[in-house]
Amino acid sequence: MKRLIILGSAGSIGQSTLQIVEALPDDFTVTGLAVDRNTDEVLAQAAKFGVKHVAVADPRAAKKAQADAPSGVHVTAGPEAVAALAGMDDADVVVGAIVGMAGLEPILAAIERGREIALATKEVLVAAGEVVTSRAKARGATLLPVDSEPSAIFQCLAGKPGPSVRRLILTASGGPFTVQEDLDLTTVSPAQALNHPRWDMGQKVTIDSATLMNKGLEIMESRWLFDMSMDSIDVVIHPESIVHSMVEFIDGSVLAQLSVPDMRFAIQYALTHPQRLDGRLPGLNLMELGALHFGEPDDKRFPCLQLARSAGSTGGTMPAALNAANEIAVHRFLREDIRFPGIWKIVEEVMTQHNLVEQPSLDDVIEADRWARTAAEEIRC
């Protein structure tokens, strides 16, 4: 039985992980849960799954949780408590599902303990990929992808030697707007952008899907996960979201991983790897599908994809600056401070202003992240 710590247990990935635990009670137990501020949810989860250790990043919310916690549940407070939870003894696998750069320190703490890490927080590898992967290698920690697209690539690559791979092909649903070619993107509301046609995700990831930034972040994530060059990772629009990604080999063969659009497939594989277990997930009926469609992304209409490619190719602290600027721009759009195209305008301006550090330390990455957040809040557009 594997012991799990779930960072971000109140979010969509965390809740899906707990559904898998519930479906496979003989294979998994949960020993720790962490959230930002959703104390009602995490305490209910702790009670249901018999969890004794809970960390709440927001100190004010943590005080409420400490007052409300049932007997036997120990609640700790602050970001440092989340990192301490990720590094505690009573765990085999840490599920990293904290949104954004807030997930970096807890993931590094788990790496220091040589854990298996089921990583959903792609921003950790986007901003600090070299630091994270080198530390994981040194400590014997294993990074297992939880995003459906990198997970698909991971599954297709299983047992295949690196030199046999020609390119990775990430599929993108395209979000709600790629098929609406006549839509004026300046008129898009947050409610429209959050209305994803295929996936049920958190707000940040859903907006990133609508701008195609999510796919740009996955290119950079995959570059570190699979030790591939940026120019050997392609993106295709696939609105049905059935083919989750593909690998093309040097002999021209292409392997693809298919399933219905449900994040539990990728999460379960990360938790059970290298085994496959019956978690009672929905099957795929090819006869009902009828047809699958693929197309080129429109880089001019959705510039985030190319901005991400540029940041990844530049390297150094530029990916951290892009990632931080995007997080702030998305939040500004959600609070209706900017229009939808303002997201990529802010990101581009922050990248233009950024003073690049070519070979950054972890402190350099953290400083680039801090600077970019401040700059992104101040840009008027």
The predicted pLDDT at position 368 comes to 97
Q: What are the Cα distances from residue 226, in Å, to 82, 154, 249, 272? A: 28, 8, 14, 20
Whether 155 and 52 map to the same domain: the answer is no
Distance of CA 241 to the CA centre of its chain: 17
Do the domain assignments include residue 271? no
Domain boundary among 123, 145, 167: 145
Do the domain assignments include residue 291? no
Domain boundary among 91, 120, 145: 145
Whether 355 and 245 map to the same domain: the answer is yes
DSSP letter string over 252-273? S-EEEEE--S-THHHHHHHHHT
The CATH number of whichever domain residue 254 belongs to comes to: 1.10.1740.10
Whether 128 and 162 map to the same domain: the answer is no
- Could you say which DSSP state residue 222 is in? H
Whether 239 and 353 map to the same domain: the answer is yes
The CATH number of whichever domain residue 55 belongs to comes to: 3.40.50.720
Domain that holds residue 110: 2-145
Strand partners, 142: 116
From first to last of the 381 residues of the chain, give the pLDDT tens digit: 999 999 999 999 999 999 999 999 999 999 999 999 999 999 999 999 999 999 999 999 999 999 999 999 999 999 999 999 999 998 999 999 998 889 999 999 999 999 999 999 999 999 999 999 999 999 999 999 999 999 999 999 987 878 999 999 999 998 888 878 888 999 999 999 998 877 777 899 899 999 999 999 999 999 999 999 999 999 999 999 999 999 999 999 999 999 999 999 999 999 999 999 999 999 999 999 889 999 999 999 999 999 999 999 999 999 999 999 999 999 999 999 999 999 999 999 999 999 999 999 999 999 999 999 999 999 998
Give the whole-angstrom CA distance, residue 168 versus residue 219.
9
Do the domain assignments include residue 287? no
Structure tokens at 238: 């696939």
Whether 221 and 191 map to the same domain: the answer is yes
Whether 160 and 138 map to the same domain: the answer is no
Phi, psi of 7 (to 5 degrees): -95, 120
Do the domain assignments include residue 105? yes
Do the domain assignments include residue 171? yes
Whether 227 and 325 map to the same domain: the answer is yes
Whether 134 and 182 map to the same domain: the answer is no
Q: What is the largest CA-CA distance in the chain?
A: 62
Asked whether the beta carbons of 119 and 107 are under 8 A apart, the reply is yes
Whether 120 and 58 map to the same domain: the answer is yes
